[in-house]
Homo-oligomer: A and B are copies of this chain.
Amino acid sequence: MPEPRYDVIAIGNAIVDVMAPCEDARIAELGLAKGGMTLVDTARAEELYAAMGSAREISGGSAANTLAGLSALGAKCAFIGQVADDQLGEVFAHDIRAVGIDFETPVRADDPPTARCLIFVTPDAQRTMNTFLGASQFLPPETLDAEAVAAAKILYLEGYLWDPEEPRAAMRRAIEAARAAGRKVAFTLSEVFVIDRHGDDFRALIEDGLIDILFANHHELEALTGTNDFEAGIAALDGKVPTLVVTRSAEGAVAVHGGERAEVPAEPIDKVVDTTGAGDLFAAGFLYGYVRDEPLETCLRRGAIAACEIISHYGARPEADLRKVMDAKLG
């Protein structure tokens, strides 16, 4: 096996977030599922955009956010995801390349347009996401760059993208390529609705030993394992997933790795502005420690610190110099 060129390669939605503050009453009026992620079609996307306040556009996408965090910390990363030939596609491609991430997936010439996520941020900093998948749902498996996947220490996959057919097939192919090259596969469950629809697939991947690192929040752990007892949920995956990382919002996070267990509290923060990307950046911090073979607790601490930076401002891409912030906090 040649020396890996990348620390992490990820497959995910190539999406631009359209974000605006919103009062709680408006969330109810618009019939939105507060705190969740809902897929929307063109008509609903237009309706919600028309109802949205003056917004700002910031590149997003769960796995892409994770890579942006990893890259800011100094990891070498590559991204695979589908944009259309339009201005938001240019914005996404610019922003991901601007932070040093390789992004070579060819632009898709046809309709639909580049994916966008309409995010309503309530005064409690909770984000309510409405995703128009657009071009993101087309990622032809036959164009997957298997050589690039084989050249990364870790293949990171976003559960959100398991839903549309083409990207799911591309991700299955990527798992094969990573496995054949002796690389690790990391998977984030993304959202309960994805588990409701594809839980059997995920459980099969786990049973088949294809997932080395699994990221979940406590709701997703519950949906995946079918128990609402947190410890029972963790126990259910014991021996099946070599590294399990479960986040619990303000209650911190737990990781289990080869019989060892570590826990960290959430990082203290003055003011939470927007929770968009908290899980994505937690994964970034954790994986940065993981690829450097750091102690499990240090990996978790890095996750908590990265998540803390991202929720201190609007948008799911780091604003502060994440490396400096982390060095200062880890001492």
Instruction: Report which A residues bind B (CB closer than 8 A).
Output: 20-21, 49-50, 52-59, 68, 86-88, 91, 94-96, 98-99, 113, 315, 317, 319
Q: How far is the CA of A86 from the CA of B319 in the complex (A)?
A: 28
Contact status B49-A54, CB under 8 Å: no
Q: List 19 A-B contacts (CB under 8 A).
A: A49-B94, A50-B94, A52-B94, A53-B99, A54-B68, A54-B94, A54-B95, A54-B98, A54-B99, A55-B91, A55-B94, A55-B95, A55-B98, A56-B57, A56-B58, A86-B87, A87-B87, A87-B88, A87-B113
By the criterion CB–CB under 8 Å, are B317 and A91 in contact?
no
The answer for the CA separation of A98 and B21 in the assembled complex, in Å, is 12
- By beta carbon, the residue of chain B nearest A98 is B54
Closest chain B residue to A318, Cβ basis: B54
User: Which 3 pairs from chain A and chain B are nearest by CB?
Assistant: A57-B57, A87-B87, A54-B95
Q: How far is it, in angstroms, between the C-alpha of A86 and the C-alpha of B49 when the chains are bound?
A: 16
CB distance from A123 to the nearest CB of B (A): 11
Instruction: Given contact pairs A52-B98, A55-B91, enumerate 12 new A-B contacts (beta carbons under 8 Å).
Output: A21-B319, A52-B94, A53-B98, A53-B99, A54-B68, A54-B99, A54-B317, A55-B98, A56-B58, A86-B87, A87-B88, A87-B113
Residue of B nearest to A317 (CB): B54
Q: Nearest chain B CB to A145's CB is how many angstroms away? A: 23
CB-CB under 8 A from A21, the residues of chain B are: 319
Give the residue among A50, A57, A91 with the most B Cβ atoms within 10 A: A57
Task: Return A271 CB to nearest CB of chain B, in Å.
Answer: 14
How far is A82 from B6 in the complex, measured between Cα atoms in Å? 45
CA A21 – CA B320 in complex, angstroms? Answer: 10
Tell me if B91 and A57 are in contact (CB < 8 A).
yes
Give chain B residues whose Cβ lies under 8 Å from the Cβ of A53. Answer: 98-99
Residues of B within 8 A of A52 (CB): 94, 98
Q: How far is the CA of A317 from the CA of B68 in the complex (A)?
A: 27
Residue of B nearest to A87 (CB): B87
Q: Which residue of B lies closest to A18 (CB)?
A: B91
- Report the bound CA distance from A54 to B20 in whole Å: 19
Complex alpha-carbon distance, A95 and B50, angstroms: 9
Residues of B within 8 A of A96 (CB): 54
In the complex, which residues of chain B have a beta carbon less than 8 angstroms from the beta carbon of A59?
54
Bound form: Cα–Cα A50–B96 in Å: 11
Q: A317 CA to B88 CA in the complex, in Å?
A: 21
Nearest Cβ in chain B — how far from A308, in angstroms?
19
Interface centre among A59, A86, A98 (most CB of B within 10 A): A98
User: Shortest distance in angstroms between A66's beta carbon and chain B's nearest beta carbon?
Assistant: 14
A81 → B minimal CB distance (Å): 16
